[in-house]
């Protein structure tokens, strides 16, 4: 019963490096999203997708790219890592039909440090 | 102004106590509402949805006041295992979820 799987769980990068955070779900959910969580703050939406081939920006999209080539996968790319991107990143998915009432299911999170 | 505002706490209560958390949201177009629970260094997990008529799940009761743009969560007979951070979540435009910064609850023996 995998649900939402995120990899890696921990990562340390140097400023300027790029990397991809992986997210996969096996629940056939149409909606997938990425959040970051910083101390003392709630989760903030980075990007989201309502289906394969469709992505859109959330509250804090700058410095991040996403793509959705399949229903299952929704990778998040950091183009040129900056210390301000040090955070815990969560991927989430949910059904889309009647989506207003559909809660999101979260992965375990990726703890990312940028030096 | 933040979309969702919560008292950060912490709320320190003895076992068996009743505790209430409040949350306000700024956009009247918000469509659906949830309470999530987050344990330290873990992912958020759905506690309950919040419906206009109010709803109850065991020891937990959620209320929504659309006129005042206010959501509440009441926990009765607190258990040690209820210690966590409680996140108020609002959905708007069907595709965007907005999270409060959370209210921390510590239940003491």
CA nearest A32 in B: which residue? B95
Interval A9-32 mean pLDDT: 95
Share of chain B above pLDDT 90, in %: 75
| Structure confidence at residue B51 (pLDDT) | 87
Q: Alpha helices, DSSP H only, in A20-107?
A: none
If one counts every other C-beta atom within 10 angstroms of the C-beta of residue B71, the result is 26
Residues of B in contact with A90 (CB under 8 A): 43-44
Interval A43-66 mean pLDDT: 94
Q: Alpha helices, DSSP H only, in chain A?
A: none
In whole angstroms, how far apart are CA A1 and each of A27, A74, B39, B45, B69?
Answer: 9, 19, 21, 16, 37
Residues of B in contact with A35 (CB under 8 A): 99
Indicate the helix (H) or strand (E) that contains A46.
Answer: strand A43-51
Inform me whether the pLDDT recorded for A99 exceeds 60: no
CA distance A37 to chain B (A): 9
Inform me whether the pLDDT recorded for A61 exceeds 80: yes
Average pLDDT value for chain A: 92
| Structure confidence at residue A41 (pLDDT) | 79
Q: Which of B30, B92, B7 is nearest to A42 (CA)?
A: B7
| Structure confidence at residue A100 (pLDDT) | 56
| Structure confidence at residue B91 (pLDDT) | 87
Is A48 in Cβ contact with B101 (below 8 Å)? Answer: no
Task: State the Cα–Cα distance between residues A39 and A34, nearest whole angstrom.
Answer: 17
pLDDT top residue among B9 and B107:
B107
Q: Is A101 helix (H, G, I), strand (E, B) or coil?
A: helix
Is A42 in Cβ contact with B100 (below 8 Å)? Answer: yes
CA nearest A104 in B: which residue? B46
């Amino acid at each position: 019963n995998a649900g939402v799987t995120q990899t890696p769980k921990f990562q340390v990068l140097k400023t300027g490096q790029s990397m991809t955070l992986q997210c996969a779900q096996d629940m056939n959910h149409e909606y997938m999203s990425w959040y970051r969580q910083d101390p003392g703050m709630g989760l903030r939406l980075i990007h989201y997708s309502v289906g394969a081939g469709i992505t859109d920006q959330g509250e804090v999209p700058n410095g991040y790219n996403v793509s959705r080539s399949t229903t299952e996968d929704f990778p998040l790319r950091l183009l040129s890592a900056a210390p301000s991107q040090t955070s815990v990143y969560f991927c989430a998915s949910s059904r889309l039909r009647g989506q207003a009432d559909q809660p999101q299911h979260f992965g375990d999170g990726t703890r990312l440090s940028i030096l | 102004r933040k979309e969702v505002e919560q008292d950060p706490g912490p709320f320190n209560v003895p076992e068996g106590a009743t505790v209430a958390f409040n949350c306000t949201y700024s956009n009247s177009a918000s469509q659906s509402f949830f309470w999530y629970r987050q344990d330290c260094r873990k992912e958020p997990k759905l506690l309950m949805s919040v419906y206009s008529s109010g709803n109850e799940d065991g020891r937990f009761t959620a209320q929504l006041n659309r006129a005042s743009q206010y959501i509440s969560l009441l926990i009765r007979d607190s258990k040690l295992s209820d210690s966590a951070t409680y996140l108020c979540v609002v959905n708007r435009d069907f595709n965007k979820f907005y999270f409060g910064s959370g209210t921390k609850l510590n239940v003491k023996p």
